[in-house]
Amino acid sequence: MTARKPDNADTYAAIDLGSNSFHLVVARREHGELRFVDRIREMVRLGGGLDRRGYLDLEVQERAIECLARFGQRLRGIPTANIRAVGTQTLRRMRNSSAFLLVAETALGCAVDIIGGREEARLIYLGVSQGVSGHDGRRLVIDIGGGSTELVIGEGLEPLELESLQFGCVSLTRWYFGKGKISRRKFDKARRAVLAEMQELQVRYRGLGWSSAIGSSGTIRAIAGICQAKGWCEEAITAEALDKLIAETLSFTHVDAVNLPTLSERRHPVFIGGLVMLSACFDALGIDRLRVSPYALREGVLHDLLGRLEHRDPRDKTVQAFKSRYGVDTAQVNRVRDVALRAFAEIDDGEFNSTAQAEMLGWAADLHETGLGVSHSHYQVHSGYLVGESDMAGFSQQEQQFLATLVRHHRRAIPDKYASGLPARMHEPLRRLLFCLRFAAILCRTRDDSALPRFGVERDGHRIIVSFEPEWAMAHPLTLADLEQERVQLRVPGLYLDVSLGLPGGDAA
């Protein structure tokens, strides 16, 4: 008899913790396609509560947590594996974001991934592309958020150029119109600052070119709505319509006095900053016409989540490209990967997401020798740096740091603060995967398949017992000596290693 699928097994959710507003989308998978069943947006203005030192205002923090608690109520019953939440520019800038995330994740009921600017751009492009009929033609996608603006050129579902600028509707309004006063001088000053930042990007993007331009996000939709209500354009925003909107907006002397049709009260306080940003994009990139997409980051997160669940994970492609770029020894990384995953399978108790942890361990094995392309001496340090500091499409900042930590500490001494910077929820999985990767690196040190032993691994809490055949152990005293040293190193992450001669079910020595 076939087991009945849980009611919400085909329900998926994505949460976008933006600098201006928080978004939740819920969709069901029907006949191979996503059908959106719920959309919730709350104007939290997280970016407006962050001071110049990176500390979050308590009132804004409370507002954010209350919003996430409401989101968490809506998410109840949806499998955790079918939910992904991401945080953007404000969380990237926030000092001690781990403390905020601990409370936020509790309220929401799931982990929150902080994503880098280029990863945000990739996900926005993926989301916007879902709403484009056909996949022909090169397109430019612009998304103006609260704290950053993402610009992407791509073809079909593949981005070709990704960029994230540290200007958004909240930040520009705050920096250049802080007291609410509006003037041509302030507008031009803000616009010049953005254009100066776009000089290098302008040359690159114009050189690559595109056949159509698409805008997403609340700012662009608000501008389109006003222009349409005024009769200045129909569906797309034109350069002429944008100029008319700027002239009318600058006829007001204060942010609070701006009176434009369809402009909502929620969008009103940060509208002027978004207008500056879009004006600079039109000018720098020579845009004449910008179509408006109803899709954005959250839809991209949802489709990316489905890709992960259906073995179309962009992280695989990133790791393979990394291996190729740094010319790793494929036979050796496969050897280490196989041993590490065998060890993991034997100690895994299903307490954590086993599939996700096995994937991370496999990628760490694939990348652990990338630093050899820099220097043979202390190559694990170089490997960790390359993994931690490179743009790695598909990985959140926490995932990338987790991977870099595994790679950095797969051999030699483990420092006391090896897990610093990682959220507490990742510490126990890191401890277990660190053992598996280090154990595999020791057994594969000779780079010889014929020297690999049969082995068994058992775990009892933080105690791990590895066992070998006595004959193999007698022929490999150096490996046993390495494992003896490993006992000392593993005490730092709180693991206690014992070596037994005699496989389970066999005769002990």
Give the CATH number, domain containing residue 382: 1.10.3210.10
Identify the burial level of 252 via C-beta atoms within 10 angstroms of its C-beta, where 0-12 means exposed, 13-18 middle and 19 or more buried: middle
Sheet holding 212-216, edge to edge: 158-165, 149-155, 138-144, 212-216, 289-292, 237-238
Look at the chain and count its residues: 509
Record the pTM. 0.93
Closest CA to 434 of 476, 481, 380, 389: 380
Asked if residues 213 and 256 have their Cβ atoms less than 8 Å apart, the reply is: no
SS3 assignment, position 14: strand
Q: How confident is the model at residue 133 (pLDDT cuts 50, 70, 90)?
A: low
For the stretch 375-382, contacts whose Cβ atoms lie closer than 8 Å and that sit 24 or more positions apart, written own/partner, are 378/412, 380/407, 380/408, 380/409, 380/410, 380/411, 380/412, 381/408
Asked if residues 98 and 382 have their Cβ atoms less than 8 Å apart, the reply is: no
The encoded tokens of residue 29 equal: 């998978």
Average pLDDT for residues 111-121, to the nearest whole number? 97
6 part of a folded domain: no
**96 against 143, higher pLDDT:** 143
Asked if residues 425 and 396 have their Cβ atoms less than 8 Å apart, the reply is: no
| 320 and 391 co-located in one domain | yes
Which domain range does residue 51 map to? 11-114
pLDDT at 130: 86
| 327 and 393 co-located in one domain | yes
The encoded tokens of residue 433 equal: 């995967």
250 part of a folded domain: yes
| 374 and 462 co-located in one domain | yes
pLDDT at 507: 45
| 259 and 357 co-located in one domain | no
| 418 and 465 co-located in one domain | yes
Q: How confident is the model at residue 136 (pLDDT cuts 50, 70, 90)?
A: low
Asked if residues 375 and 381 have their Cβ atoms less than 8 Å apart, the reply is: no
The encoded tokens of residue 103 equal: 């409370």
pLDDT tens digits, 410-451? 999 999 999 998 999 999 999 999 999 999 999 999 999 999
Question: What is the tally of structural domains in the chain?
Answer: 3
509 part of a folded domain: no
1 part of a folded domain: no
| 218 and 351 co-located in one domain | no
The encoded tokens of residue 74 equal: 């809506």
4 part of a folded domain: no
Tell me the pLDDT of the chain averaged across its residues: 94
The encoded tokens of residue 18 equal: 């933006």
Q: Distance between CA atoms of 384 and 412, rounded to whole angstroms?
A: 13
| 90 and 198 co-located in one domain | no
| 125 and 35 co-located in one domain | no
Average pLDDT for residues 251-256, to the nearest whole number? 96
Q: How confident is the model at residue 4 (pLDDT cuts 50, 70, 90)?
A: low
| 288 and 319 co-located in one domain | no
Asked if residues 357 and 348 have their Cβ atoms less than 8 Å apart, the reply is: yes
Give the residue carrying structure tokens 């931690």: 388
Q: What is the percentage of the chain residues whose pLDDT exceeds 70? A: 97
- pLDDT of 277 higher than 80: yes
Q: Distance between CA atoms of 96 and 111, rounded to whole angstroms?
A: 16
Average pLDDT for residues 322-346, to the nearest whole number? 96
| 133 and 87 co-located in one domain | no
Asked if residues 278 and 219 have their Cβ atoms less than 8 Å apart, the reply is: yes
pLDDT tens digits, 295-317? 999 999 999 999 998 888 999 99
| 249 and 372 co-located in one domain | no
- pLDDT of 281 higher than 80: yes
Among 299, 321, 353, where does a domain finish? 299
pLDDT at 135: 54
Among 93, 114, 135, where does a domain finish? 114
pLDDT at 6: 62
**Contacting residues for 249 by C-beta, under 8 A, at least 6 apart:** 182, 258, 260, 271, 272, 275
- Inter-helix orientation angle 427-443/477-490, to 10°: 160
What is the DSSP secondary-structure string of 456-494?
A: EEEEETTEEEEEE-HHHHHH-HHHHHHHHHHHHHHTTTT
- pLDDT of 47 higher than 70: yes
**Contacting residues for 227 by C-beta, under 8 A, at least 6 apart:** 233, 237, 238, 241, 242, 244, 245
pLDDT at 509: 38
Among 299, 327, 346, where does a domain finish? 299
| 289 and 339 co-located in one domain | no
- pLDDT of 132 higher than 80: no
138 part of a folded domain: yes
448 part of a folded domain: yes
173 part of a folded domain: yes
